[in-house]
Amino acid sequence: MPHTFVRLFFVFIATVSVFAQSLPSEKVLMGFSAASSAKQKALEAKFDAGLKKENLREWMKRLSARPHYVGSPYGKENAEFMLALFKSWGYDAKIEQFDVLFPTPKTRVLEMTAPEKFTARLEEPDLKEDATSNQKNEQLPTYNAYSADGDVTGDAVYVNYGVPADYEELAKRGISVKGKIAIARYGGSWRGIKPKVAAENGAIACLIYSDPRDDGYFQGDVYPQGAYRNEHGVQRGSVADMPVFPGDPTTPGVGSIKGVKRLDYKDAKTVMKIPVMPISYADALPILRNLGGAVAPASWRGALPITYHLGGANAVKVHFKLAFNWDIKPIYNVIATMRGAELPDQWIVRGNHHDAWVNGADDPISGLVAEMEEARVIGELAKTGWRPKRTIVYAAWDGEEPGLLGSTEWAETHRAELKNKVAVYINSDSNGRGFLGVGGSHTLEKFINEVGRNIADPQTKMTVWERSRAQQIVSGSASARKETMERADLRIAPLGSGSDYTPFLQHLGIASLNIGFGGEDGGGSYHSIYDSFDHFTRFGDPNFDYGIALAKVCGHATLRLADADVLPFEFVNFADTVNQYVAEVVRLADAMRDETAMTNQLISSGMLVAVQDPTQKYVVPKTEKAVPNLDFKPLQNALTRLKESAGKYQTASGNTQMSASARKSLDEILLKSERFLTTDAGLPRRDWFKHQIYAPGFYTGYGVKTLPGVREAIEQRDWTEAARQIKIAAETIENFAAEIDRAAALAQTK
């Protein structure tokens, strides 16, 4: 999986002078004294000078030379190759193995038997323009991992993106997927949501196809002429129900180490309950073209040259058969440690996965090679006498694609130690040409803004920070633009899921960042055999300039976090962000109240039914209970407290007179501060997710829900739950504020 691409938002000083080059920045770095700051900048300059983009190219070529999915021979070779490199760079490196459930298909049949006969191809053709596309023997076939086995025949129904709102539209037209096969298009949610919601609605199977509107010729020229998905391209991917928990479905909450008690896969909660398979638009077209029934709503229509119908009305008979090898496979995390000279029990962990669905040049190798180059140069620096104050851990995760397996099993196995020691986790995944994107904990927002302000953009005369800011100003809405121009820092995005930060941030409560460049690397190679060295070096980041930029951003962040006199957390930006989230959930409830009242009125007055075309079937929705006035006071009071505490720490921090031991005590509070944003009980329906501010959406998948307990209760119209969650969130924020108060008190001591 790649990072969900997010953009930094940025502030504006209304003069041309901001574009003048002023690298490195003159001011004292967060968490450093003037003296240590100067030293750190000198170190960063050496670091930058050491980075070599030829390494990125060479390693990408090597690591993406053959398919390297979970359990593949080349995956293991890659791990061993990296292990040797980390060792050669002076790291204490090892491979940590886990054994995980990893199903691979043994039977895949998709055919239409009526009204015409058609057998789906289910295969991506090799191309002479793509050197690795012909490695048929080693490629995983096109499939969704953790689909159920099945052999079903039924009518097809087109369900758009297959999210809950789509089923409400179908219901208004009197269409149900019960006993039928749902055909959904990729997009609009994480893929695993589609079969889950289809199954909740009674579908017996689900097909997911890439519509050329979202992922094909509508977007740009198709491969190999251009970068976009061609008619036979297929997006592989996991459909494990990761919003419930990621990692091995058969070992929920515990590491899949030798001898662990393991569920039967049939009892595993996150294994999909119906068969599901991804298909190309060439394979989807004959089915979609034959669907009868009502014409799909305008926003549901894709770019195939047909009238999109919903189906369910005529006899489109689809036969769909899937069977899997439900194997336990080894995965190999590469863990490389450089022990801190002064504070060895304070860890900065930096990670990127190494497994891919096929060759994975972009996903994940483009991010991985940047991480490797960071590690190499830091290794070189360490050979010249410098040592980090804190411990740096470089990780290359295996098994991210099927379900964040490597990172999750590692986090679950080492839970106690990690909660005790890890200050920050920095993740990357895919990377490409374009704009800096950062998501993460807002306690690190100011810090990562500072880092970004100091890195030159490879294509312009700006810093990467300035270019992202310009992008936000140029393309933002009037209000977003105004904020960007007035705010000191660019906003970073909250994290949902989709890459290896999830177990750290949302399960262990470790402050995390997810960093990558993109936006000028458009294409459609994602999770296909065309995610290759040939594709990436034409369309991704041909010169690896943005690979180097990523190495700089993540390398500087890692080095600063490792070397700072005091960990550079900051809480005013965090409080400002939570303030936004609280305002959002209040508005959400208000909007639902107005909308519910209006819809109920339109239903009961008969207006809704009167405006429907009487020649078309229409089922009037039921009225909803009125939305009560929720008491948001506890949350608003907690917010007030949080702002005060954040202000106090801001005033107190920057004290350069502190003793080493006071600094260490302060660090220990800061290091664990994010833990206080979690609760042991976790979120309703999914207690693996402990974080009360950020979570992937139960019905969006990757998409983040901030204040998830409160927000999802409102969305689900569970008002009792919403009231309870408001209290829990308020309490959590109060506890967090108390820790900030402790930090502020300590920061004033000598």
Nearest alpha-carbon partner for 81 in 62, 96, 57, 54: 62
**Residue 603 or 745 having the CB closest to a copy of itself:** 603
CB of 486 to a copy of itself, least distance (A): 14
Segment lying near a copy of itself (by CB under 8 A), choices 160-168, 266-274, 606-614, 730-738: 606-614
Rounded to whole angstroms, the Cα distance separating 609 from 90 reads 73
Angle between helices 719-747 and 633-652 (to 10 degrees): 20
What b/e string do you get for 486-514 counting C-beta neighbours within 10 Å, with b at 16 or more? Answer: ebebbbbbbbbbbbbbbbbbbbbbbbbbb
**Residue 309 or 663 having the CB closest to a copy of itself:** 309
Half-sphere exposure of 4 (CA within 13 A, CB side): 21
Segment lying near a copy of itself (by CB under 8 A), choices 29-37, 245-253, 471-479, 665-673: 471-479
Among 470, 511, 585, 652, binds a copy of itself (CB under 8 A): 470
Q: Lay out the site mask for a copy of itself across 16-55 (x = CB under 8 A, - = otherwise).
A: x-xx------------------------------------
Among 260, 263, 462, 588, binds a copy of itself (CB under 8 A): 462
Among 466, 531, 667, 741, binds a copy of itself (CB under 8 A): 466
Is residue 682 left, alpha or beta, with left meaning phi > 0 and alpha meaning psi from -120 to 50?
left
Q: Lay out the site mask for a copy of itself across 221-260 (x = CB under 8 A, - = otherwise).
A: xx---x-x--------------------------------
- Cβ neighbours of 678 (radius 10 Å): 24
CB of 223 to a copy of itself, least distance (A): 12
**Residue 132 or 472 having the CB closest to a copy of itself:** 472
Residue list 314-353, contact with a copy of itself (CB under 8 A): none
What element of type H or E holds 198?
A: helix 193-200
Residue 195, interface with a copy of itself (CB under 8 A)? no
CB of 474 to a copy of itself, least distance (A): 5
**Residue 14 or 49 having the CB closest to a copy of itself:** 14
Segment lying near a copy of itself (by CB under 8 A), choices 196-204, 211-219, 329-337, 645-653: 211-219
Rounded to whole angstroms, the Cα distance separating 549 from 370 reads 8
Among 254, 303, 586, 592, binds a copy of itself (CB under 8 A): 303
CB 315 within 8 A of CB 210: no
Residue 456, interface with a copy of itself (CB under 8 A)? no
CB of 592 to a copy of itself, least distance (A): 14
Tell me the two tokens of residue 390.
């804190």
Residue 134, interface with a copy of itself (CB under 8 A)? no
Question: What DSSP letter does each residue of 522-566 carry, written as one string?
Answer: --S-TTSTT-SHHHIIIII-TT-HHHHHHHHHHHHHHHHHHH-SS
Residue 626, interface with a copy of itself (CB under 8 A)? no
Q: What is the DSSP pairing of strand 511-519 with strand 422-427?
A: parallel
What b/e string do you get for 142-158 counting C-beta neighbours within 10 Å, with b at 16 or more? Answer: bbbbbbbebebebbbbb
What are the phi and psi torsion angles at 420 (to 5°)?
-80, -35
DSSP 442: G
Residue 380, interface with a copy of itself (CB under 8 A)? no
Residue 608, interface with a copy of itself (CB under 8 A)? yes
What are the phi and psi torsion angles at 502 (to 5°)?
-55, -50
Segment lying near a copy of itself (by CB under 8 A), choices 497-505, 611-619, 664-672, 715-723: 611-619
CB 453 within 8 A of CB 436: no
What are residue 696's DSSP bridge partners? Answer: 704
Rg (CA), the chain: 26
Residue 283, interface with a copy of itself (CB under 8 A)? no
**Residue 134 or 604 having the CB closest to a copy of itself:** 604
Among 88, 134, 299, 605, binds a copy of itself (CB under 8 A): 605
**Residue 471 or 573 having the CB closest to a copy of itself:** 471
Residue list 508-567, contact with a copy of itself (CB under 8 A): 520
Place of tokens 């034959």: 290
CB of 493 to a copy of itself, least distance (A): 18
**Residue 298 or 416 having the CB closest to a copy of itself:** 298
Place of tokens 């079903």: 152
Q: Lay out the site mask for a copy of itself across 476-515 (x = CB under 8 A, - = otherwise).
A: -----x----------------------------------
Segment lying near a copy of itself (by CB under 8 A), choices 195-203, 234-242, 297-305, 683-691: 297-305
Residue 329's SS3 state is strand
**Residue 380 or 545 having the CB closest to a copy of itself:** 545
Residue 637, interface with a copy of itself (CB under 8 A)? no
Residue 133, interface with a copy of itself (CB under 8 A)? no
Nearest alpha-carbon partner for 351 in 425, 444, 413: 425
**Residue 152 or 303 having the CB closest to a copy of itself:** 303
CB of 12 to a copy of itself, least distance (A): 9
What element of type H or E holds 335?
A: strand 317-338
CB of 532 to a copy of itself, least distance (A): 20
Rounded to whole angstroms, the Cα distance separating 466 from 180 reads 51
Segment lying near a copy of itself (by CB under 8 A), choices 47-55, 442-450, 462-470, 627-635: 462-470
Residue 119, interface with a copy of itself (CB under 8 A)? no
**Residue 469 or 560 having the CB closest to a copy of itself:** 469
CB of 116 to a copy of itself, least distance (A): 16
Among 49, 117, 267, 474, binds a copy of itself (CB under 8 A): 474
What b/e string do you get for 271-307 counting C-beta neighbours within 10 Å, with b at 16 or more? Answer: bbebbbbbbbbbbbbbbbbbbebbebeeebbbebeee
CB 366 within 8 A of CB 541: yes
Nearest alpha-carbon partner for 361 in 679, 598, 133: 133
- Cβ neighbours of 604 (radius 10 Å): 11
What are the phi and psi torsion angles at 516 (to 5°)?
-170, 160
Residue list 412-441, contact with a copy of itself (CB under 8 A): 435
Residue 7, interface with a copy of itself (CB under 8 A)? no
Nearest alpha-carbon partner for 465 in 495, 443, 494, 445: 445
Is residue 685 left, alpha or beta, with left meaning phi > 0 and alpha meaning psi from -120 to 50?
left
- Where on the chain is the footprint of a copy of itself (CB under 8 A)? 14-16, 18-19, 212, 217-222, 226, 228, 295, 301, 303-307, 435, 459-460, 462, 466-467, 470-471, 473-475, 481, 520, 598, 601-602, 604-608, 610-611, 613-615
